[in-house]
């Protein structure tokens, strides 16, 4: 099945850009975030800083609903090198509004300035902070989940592992959107005539920026696929995209979760590229809606 035509304009724009690996990271990060003319409405949004392993760490807090609400830690993607709560504002808004929760979006440290394990350490600090301050946030610490896309999907999976391994916080669910799960995997190039939004060259650049010489790429908190056991983890929704070189490792992680007794649902969006849930297209909106429909009953 060829790439869906709803992505044609986005793919044309991406084809016209130089490879990210050829650009200075500062230039990529300083690129303006496209204005969203119709952001999903929520009841409140505020920026805050909390203590982190590297000092003050920015977070953004979203709220939709009344009373004591479920709590979601959202972790943005960007190859561990770029991205922020700004680049993923609409994803966080949509999940907040459609799930009816308090969402904490964490602005973790990025490579290469802050290599692994800075990112998972920051995210785990944010997870513990959100749990400890749930009452102040108008949320219920007993109804908490993690979510993330791409690199953020990796970090969300790692948060589930660390919460299990380090005595909490207890999580009700993990939403892994086209996650990176195996830093050792050899990614296949796009089929002839097709285009991958991320390709082996780009992914290698991101992995080197995050992991340096790669000596630690088999550590479970870098590559969740290498953890000895997945038993005892919270229910998982793993979303993958057909035109994404990360698709096989997301599928493999979902299969292993299920095989080891974790309630797991795998959804493969056919004819979709990596990152599709960040794009203002029908399939992206449906992916967010499906994520919220899956999360909501698990956070009651």
What's the mean per-residue pLDDT of the chain? 95
The residue that leads in pLDDT, 42 or 16, is 42
Phi and psi angles of residue 274, each rounded to the nearest 5 degrees, phi first = -55, 140
pLDDT category of residue 93 using cuts at 50, 70 and 90:
very high
Residue 141 has pLDDT above 80, yes or no: yes
What pLDDT does residue 200 have? 78
CA distance 290 to 276: 13
Contact 270, 1 (CB under 8 A): yes
What pLDDT does residue 1 have? 66
Catalytic site includes residue 133 = no
**Mean pLDDT on 18-37:** 85
Residue 193 has pLDDT above 80, yes or no: no
What pLDDT does residue 113 have? 96
What pLDDT does residue 202 have? 82
Q: Is 6 strand, coil or helix?
A: helix
Helix and strand numbers (H, E) in the chain are 8, 8
pLDDT digits (tens, 9 = 90+) for 204-259: 889 999 999 889 999 999 999 999 999 999 999 999 999 999 999 999 999 999 99
The two most distant CA atoms of the chain are separated, in Å, by 53
Catalytic site includes residue 192 = no
Residue 165 has pLDDT above 70, yes or no: yes
Residue 260 has pLDDT above 80, yes or no: yes
Q: Residue 169: is the preceding peptide bond cis (ω within 30°)?
A: yes
- Degrees to nearest 5, angle at CA 202 with 182 and 239: 50
Catalytic site includes residue 244 = yes
Burial bucket for residue 178 (CB in 10 Å: 0-12, 13-18, 19+): buried
The residue that leads in pLDDT, 293 or 11, is 293
**Mean pLDDT on 99-110:** 98
**Mean pLDDT on 250-271:** 98
pTM tops 0.85, yes or no: yes
Please give the structure tokens belonging to residue 81.
């090198």
Out of 76, 88, 207, 274, the active site residue is 274
Q: How far is CA 180 from CA 17, 157, 245, 294, in A?
A: 24, 9, 10, 21
Say which range, 9-23, 96-110, 113-127, has the weakest mean pLDDT: 9-23
DSSP 8-state code for residue 7: G
Residue 28 has pLDDT above 90, yes or no: no
Out of 150, 209, 278, 291, the active site residue is 150
What pLDDT does residue 181 have? 98
What pLDDT does residue 270 have? 96
CA distance 104 to 115: 23
CA distance 189 to 187: 7
What pLDDT does residue 35 have? 85
**Mean pLDDT on 59-72:** 98
CA distance 75 to 237: 15
Contact 107, 61 (CB under 8 A): no
- Enumerate domains of the chain plus CATH numbers: 5-18+43-299 (3.40.50.1820)
What pLDDT does residue 21 have? 79
What pLDDT does residue 89 have? 98
What pLDDT does residue 18 have? 85
Length of the chain: 300
What pLDDT does residue 189 have? 83
Residue 196 has pLDDT above 90, yes or no: no
Phi and psi angles of residue 92, each rounded to the nearest 5 degrees, phi first = -65, -40
What pLDDT does residue 152 have? 98
Out of 89, 121, 244, 291, the active site residue is 244
Q: How far is CA 219 from CA 81, 146, 266, 292, in A?
A: 19, 21, 24, 31
Please give the structure tokens belonging to residue 89.
């504002």
Residue 185 has pLDDT above 70, yes or no: yes
Q: Is 68 strand, coil or helix?
A: coil
CA distance 258 to 188: 25
CA distance 208 to 188: 18
């Amino acid at each position: 099945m060829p790439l869906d035509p709803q992505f044609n304009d986005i793919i044309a724009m991406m084809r016209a850009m130089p490879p990210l690996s050829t650009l200075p990271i500062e230039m990529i990060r300083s690129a303006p975030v496209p204005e969203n003319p119709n952001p999903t409405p929520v009841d409140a949004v505020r920026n805050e800083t909390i203590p982190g392993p590297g000092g003050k760490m920015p977070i953004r807090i979203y709220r939709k609903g009344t009373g004591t609400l479920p709590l979601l830690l959202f972790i943005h993607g960007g190859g561990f090198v770029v991205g922020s709560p700004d680049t993923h504002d609409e994803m966080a808004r949509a999940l907040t509004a459609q799930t009816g929760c308090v969402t904490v979006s964490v602005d973790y440290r990025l490579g290469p300035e802050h290599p692994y394990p800075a990112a998972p350490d920051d995210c785990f600090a944010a997870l513990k902070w959100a749990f400890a301050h749930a009452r102040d946030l108008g949320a219920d610490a007993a109804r908490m989940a993690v979510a993330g896309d791409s690199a953020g999907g990796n970090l969300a999976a790692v948060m589930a592992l660390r919460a299990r391994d380090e005595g909490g916080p207890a999580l009700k669910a993990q939403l892994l959107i086209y996650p990176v799960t195996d830093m050792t995997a050899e990614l296949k190039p796009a089929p002839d005539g097709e285009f991958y939004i991320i390709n082996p060259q780009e992914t290698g650049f991101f992995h080197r920026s995050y992991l340096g010489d790669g000596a630690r790429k088999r550590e479970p908190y870098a590559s969740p696929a290498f953890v000895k056991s997945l038993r005892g983890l919270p229910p998982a929704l793993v979303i993958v995209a057909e035109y994404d070189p990360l698709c096989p490792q997301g599928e493999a992680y979902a299969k292993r979760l299920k095989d080891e007794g974790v309630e797991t649902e795998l959804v493969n969006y056919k004819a979709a590229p990596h990152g599709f849930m960040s794009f203002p297209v029908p399939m992206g909106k449906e992916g967010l809606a499906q994520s919220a429909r899956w999360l909501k009953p698990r956070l009651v």
